[in-house]
Amino acid sequence: MSIQLNETHDPSLTSWVASANTPDTDFPIQNLPFCVFRPRGSVQAFRGGVAIGDQILDLAALGDALDGAGEMARAAAALGARDSLNALMAAGQGSWSALRLALSRLLRSDAAPRPRMLVPQSDAEYAVPANIGDYTDFYTSIHHATAVGRLFRPDNPLLPNYKWVPIGYHGRSSTIGVSGQSFPRPLGQVRSASEAEPGFGPSRKMDYELEVGIFVGSGNAQGEPIAAGRAEASIFGLCLLNDWSARDLQAWEYQPLGPFLSKNFASTISPWIVTLEALAPYRAPWQRDAADPQPLPYLDYAELRGAGGLDIELEVLLETEAMRRDGLAPVRLSQSNFRHSYWTVAQLLAHHTVNGCAMRAGDLLGSGTQSGPQAEEAGSLLELTVGGKQALTLPNGEQRVFLEDGDRIVMRGWAARAGHPRIGFGEVAGTLLPAR
Ligand code: CA
């Protein structure tokens, strides 16, 4: 069941943190996303924090600020002050919601300012916000699946299971990093269509994938599926995810068991997790063509069609080494929206557990590349350059088919709706380094 709007969503709320009241901030008081941070360059412990304007509310510095807020909110704040958010995630939706309400009231214009609870975001460094036990990546954009399928299998782009099963594969959590991550170009086996045998060397077809990450909150015991209609209560929140991909490794290795070394050398997430409660005003209808199969009963639920989707704008920007040297701003490569997803976040969690698979607090699901219906809304270079055949020309004259060493990819996301403030995800940035 989706979260109803409550006093924390009131569009008229403002904060005593003045930067939270500017129309272009990602972090007005209606958002309140979570991170794990510490002052940059310090040896202090990482701890949980909540974004407000250009500041972080330090959950470890609340002191007696929540004394009047009720036991559940105080307990949740104590869990959130730890060096990962897993314990808060495991505490469940009632705890997350109680803490959100308490923090909203603490930060409102009519509350006493407590600037000593704040750390400027410009002075902070971030950690991956949870210990991610397991990571699964899905493939929920039918536009991406069709475009990529056409490149890999021109005569058979969309496999027949796509419209029935939320397609996914088990990835690795060990190489997931937080925004700011850099990593060397991976080495591996590649074989081009003209070669009889594969060679070995650095990937020459490095790509990004524009995705939404879904953090599991309260999990399930093995053998006890999470029903689709209750799945959202088990989701702590969403982040931005760049699923870096080596297309040449992928093309050679992916059959018959799916992606392997083409994906697990690095994945980068935003430091901020925006809760589903914060996203409640930005729900979107979920639509399925009448000509397509309707979901099987275990993937269907009461609120699916009316409000199963999420209206989240997503964009990808590129900053090359030359642009950095010349002081040029990153250039936007594409823009898309999560509402185009063929499957909802609730369907992903319901499908993942329907066989009895256990999910744990802090597990991460990737949405798959979020490409929109138009070609220019593609969430990867593979699509934007039609498999590397049509180079992109950047405003400074540089060209790209795939990523070059030193390229930095930035992804942003935000939700906006008339009558409600814009809330954002911040950004996820990562840099490709030369092969070692
Ligand atoms: Ca992916």
Q: How many A from CA of 228 to the centre of ligand 1?
A: 23
**Average pLDDT of the chain to the nearest whole number:** 97
pLDDT above 90 for 42? yes
Q: Give the model confidence (pLDDT) of 137-162 as tens digits.
A: 999 999 999 999 998 888 889 999 99
pLDDT at 324: 98
pLDDT at 192: 84
Alpha-helical (H) ranges within 216-318 are 247-253, 304-307
Give the CA distances from residue 307 to residues 79, 207, 232, 371, in Å, rounded to whole numbers and listed in that order: 31, 32, 12, 20
Q: Which domains does the chain have, with CATH numbers?
A: 9-127 (2.30.30.230), 135-433 (3.90.850.10)
Banded model confidence at residue 363, pLDDT cuts 50, 70, 90: very high
Q: 400 is written with which tokens? A: 């790209």
Q: How many A from CA of 206 to the centre of ligand 1?
A: 13
pLDDT above 60 for 1? no
Q: How many A from CA of 243 to the centre of ligand 1?
A: 5
Give the three-class secondary structure for 162. Answer: coil
Q: How many A from CA of 379 to the centre of ligand 1?
A: 10
pLDDT at 153: 86
Q: How many A from CA of 247 to the centre of ligand 1?
A: 11
pLDDT at 385: 97
pLDDT at 2: 63
Catalytic residue among 144, 340, 351, 352: 144
Q: E-strand spans in 96-209?
A: 118-120, 124-127, 135-138, 168-170, 176-178, 181-184, 187-190, 199-202, 206-207
143 is catalytic: no
Nearest alpha-carbon partner for 185 in 429, 400, 409, 431: 431
Banded model confidence at residue 364, pLDDT cuts 50, 70, 90: very high
Helix axes 93-107, 71-80, angle to 10 degrees: 90
Q: How many CB atoms lie within 10 A of CB 316?
A: 25
Q: How many A from CA of 33 to the centre of ligand 1?
A: 24
Q: Give the model confidence (pLDDT) of 382-411 as tens digits.
A: 999 999 999 999 999 999 999 999 999 999
Q: E-strand spans in 134-243?
A: 135-138, 168-170, 176-178, 181-184, 187-190, 199-202, 206-207, 210-216, 235-242
Q: How many A from CA of 10 to the centre of ligand 1?
A: 35
Task: Name the more confident of 241 and 1.
Answer: 241
Please state the separation of Cα 330 from the chain's center in Å: 20
pLDDT above 90 for 213? yes
The DSSP call for residue 261 is T
pLDDT above 90 for 51? yes
Q: How many A from CA of 338 to the centre of ligand 1?
A: 14
pLDDT above 70 for 70? yes
Residue percentage of the chain with pLDDT more than 90? 96
Judging by DSSP bridges, how do beta strands 392-393 and 399-400 pair with one another?
Answer: antiparallel
Q: How many A from CA of 123 to the centre of ligand 1?
A: 32
pLDDT at 317: 98
